[in-house]
Structure 1
Amino acid sequence: MFRFRSGTTNVRRQRSESRINFRLMMAKNRHHSVREVPAVAFAAPAGTPAGVEVMSLAELRRRVSEGTLVRPQRPDFHHLLTLTAGDLRHVVDFNGYALRPGSWLWVRPGQVHQWGDLAKAEGTLILFQQDVLDPATATAARVDDPHAPVVIAPVAADAGAVAMAAEHLSGEFQALGRLPLEVHIATLRHLLAVLLLRLAHLTVPVGGPATEPDETYVRFRDAVERHFTATRRVEDYARMLGYSGRTLARATLAGAGLGAKEFIDRRVVLEAKRLLAHGDETAAQISDRLGFVTPSQFSKYFMQRTGRSPIDFRHGARGRAEGPGPSAALGQE
């Protein structure tokens, strides 16, 4: 629920929300027919009704062609991957990651990713939908946090427990029919919850307590995700949420390690990069989609924050879009 300090604040918030909603509606009407970043919907095989699927990488290679895997994808569900042998390079939102046995890769809905050469890797892939867990567990496991770590590497003391949780989940997924269907589904969800909670706990700084994200930061983060194409002003979010700009600044610094304005700008730039690299819209159309007044304003904004023009970035990104391959970004190992 929004908090307001006065009737005047309430009116301002309503006006701000009206402007934002109008901009979003106009953007949807303008762009509904344009090809966007390739989206992938969750479609588990028949007989797996829990919103969870577990498979080996060998099975993935049999089911999906290499040409399909190497193309950029934007799934609306979670990918959780761990290796048991070999190595794999994977790209998530323009960052490259080198995976080794025991490490985990977590790709969240909306993120754009590309597979590397699966011929050299063996492991387990777990796919699950966003709403498969209850809200309290999802929050504790940071399931809905788009800024959570992509790669998690358990230390030896934790690796065994994590591997056991994954093995138990995989075994239950293969055991369809041994329990009543509703019990099987509930068991899968609980086992998935155990695995995700363990992985989320591993991202807590050593020696630090596991603390819940600050409510102010979470509300701001979620509002930016919904409205970044409509406004880039911290003041608009402050009015929308009923906080002061300083409160949002403090909460974002504590929750994300950067200022509120930079947080918004990074989200806008990320979406611009996704559209430039993987879509077929012109820079002018992307400018319009992201809420800029003119293409030149968008170009200046993008240049200031990336050091490259939108067109230069598109050319560079598409020049290496044939496959992830080794890159300077693979230092994130």
Structure 2
Amino acid sequence: MAKTRHDSPREIPEIPFAAPAGTPAGIEVMSPAELRRRVSGHTLGRPQRPDFHHLLTLTAGDLWHVVDFTGYALRPGSWLWVRPGQVQQWGDLSRAEGTLILFRQDALDPATATAARVDDPHAPAVTTPVAADAEAVTMAAEHLSREFRALGHLPLEAHIAALRHLLAVLLLRLAHLTVPVGSPAPEPDETYLRFRDAVERHFTATRRVEDYAHLLGYSGRTLARATLANAGLSAKEFIDRRVVLEAKRLLAHGDETAAQISDHLGFVTPSQFSKYFTQRTGRSPIDFRRGIRGLDGPTRAK
């Protein structure tokens, strides 16, 4: 399990993946009880931004888990998938039993990573397989867990290969359970994927659709059509939602002033940032920070 690194008291704590001794595959499997023994409840309850994936399923009990201001009430049978860069807070693990799988994205081959959409920050955080699929997903997780604990039963290279293949099977199954039954969704097209990735890289540098169109070699209309078809919103709103999410993360969990956050996000002046944030959230940055740290709580997922 990784240890928290505090680069600065002004930043959200970031957690790098640190492989346990003897597990060089970038994959770790444990139970909630094991996590409780390694990390204090106080530390788990604080906001943290891991740079690796978390997959959690419960076999008994329940758990309240917050991901980017949305709380999820987890029950047996459901799967939680927290992706790198998302800010999470653990609830009380004392009643939770199940399996927690941690993995770095480079533990997967590129084809699997693409097919399983592991780098999609807009993918659903929680999915609950229907009975017909639940058994196959559970078997894949159990097989992965057994192989993780069977170090030494195979030559090391074979053990690592087996772990990666078993993780790939589990992720591919989970990725294709996030589509509502009876409503198969088309694969995201290349234009949208390139735009999404460019926004993730450059949202602190520009919020203009025209800049992304120029960068990617498309017209603004092409980006608008692709984003509407794949994400259900305009290209400008897609960019704005990413900027607002990062602003909320920093306001809620960091110690930077609104002026420092404004500069971090690429605004010319703090007043420009305040106006932008207020227009899109209905609250000023300061009011949002006071609310989220006071009486207001995270949105409860239904």
Q: Does the TM-score normalized on the shorter chain lie above 0.5? A: yes
Aligned 8 A contact 1:173 1:188 in 2: yes
Is this contact kept in 1: 2:66–2:298, CA < 8 A? no
> Is the 2:61–2:96 Cα contact (8 Å) retained in structure 1?
yes
Root mean square deviation of aligned Cα: 1.4
SS of aligned partner of 2:299: helix
1:40-79 map, 5 Å: 40-79=15-54
TM-score, length-normalised on structure 2? 0.95
| Contact map agreement 1:140 1:212 (CA 8 A) in 2 | no
Partner residue, 2:265: 290
**Whole-Å separation in 2 of the counterparts to 1:246 and 1:174:** 52
Change (3 A) 1:320 1:161: farther
TM-superposed CA distance for 1:318, in Å, is 1.7
Distance (Å, rounded) in 1 between the aligned partners of 2:53 and 2:126? 13
Determine which structure has greater relative contact order: mean sequence separation of CA pairs < 8 Å that are 6+ residues apart, divided by chain length. Answer: 1
The offset of 1:316, in angstroms, is 1.4
- Cα-to-partner distance string for 1:248-276 (whole Å, 9 max, x where unaligned): 00100111111000000000000000111
Match of 1:117 among 85, 92, 102: 92
Partners in 2 of 1:236 and 1:222 — Cα distance?
A: 14
What is the CA distance between 1:211 and its match in structure 2? 3.5
Distance in 1, Cα, partners of 2:117 & 2:294: 34
Mapped partners of 2:80, 2:281: distance in 1: 26
Amino acid at match of 2:216: L
Match for residue 329 of structure 1?
299
* Structure 1 residues 266 and 187: CA distance shift in structure 2, 3 A: same
Question: TM-score, with normalisation over the residues of structure 1?
Answer: 0.86
**Distance across 2 between alignment mates of 1:269 and 1:70:** 23
SS for the counterpart of 2:176 is helix
- In structure 2, C-alpha distance between the alignment counterparts of 1:239 and 1:34, rounded to whole Å: 37
Mark the runs of 5 or more structure 1 residues left unpaired by the alignment.
1-31, 322-326
What does residue 128 of structure 1 align with?
103
Name the counterpart of 2:244.
269
Q: Distance in 2 between matches of 1:271 and 1:210?
A: 28
Matched, 1:179 2:154: yes
- Flag the structure with larger Rg: 1
Q: Spell out structure 1 runs of 4+ moving beyond 4 A.
A: none
C-alpha displacement at 1:203, in angstroms?
Answer: 1.2
2:128 paired with 1:158: no
Aligned CA distance change for structure 1 residues 34 and 88 (closer, same or farther; 3 Å): closer
2:215 aligned with 1:245: no
Residue by residue, what CA displacement relative to the aligned partner does 1:151-197 show, whole Å, maximum 9, x if unpaired? Answer: 01111111111101000000000000000000000000000000000
Separation in structure 1 between the aligned mates of residue 153 and residue 265 of structure 2, nearest angstrom: 51
Q: Give the 5 Å matches for 1:226-245.
A: 226-245=201-220
Cα distance in structure 1, aligned partners of 2:74 and 2:221? 40
Structure 2 gap ranges (5+): 1-6
- Does 2:291 correspond to 1:316? yes
Taking the aligned partners of 2:217 and 2:78, their CA distance within structure 1 comes to 41
CA apart distance, 1:204: 2.2
C-alpha distance in 1 between matches for 2:163 and 2:18: 17
For 1:249 and 1:211, locate their aligned partners in 2 and report how far apart those are by CA, in whole Å: 18
Count matched residues: 296
Higher helix share: 1
- Classify 1:320/1:119 alpha carbon distance in 2 versus 1 (closer, same or farther; 3 Å): farther
Query: Counterpart of 1:16?
Result: none
Offset of residue 329 of structure 1: 2.1
In 2, Cα distance between the equivalents of 1:127 and 1:303? 37
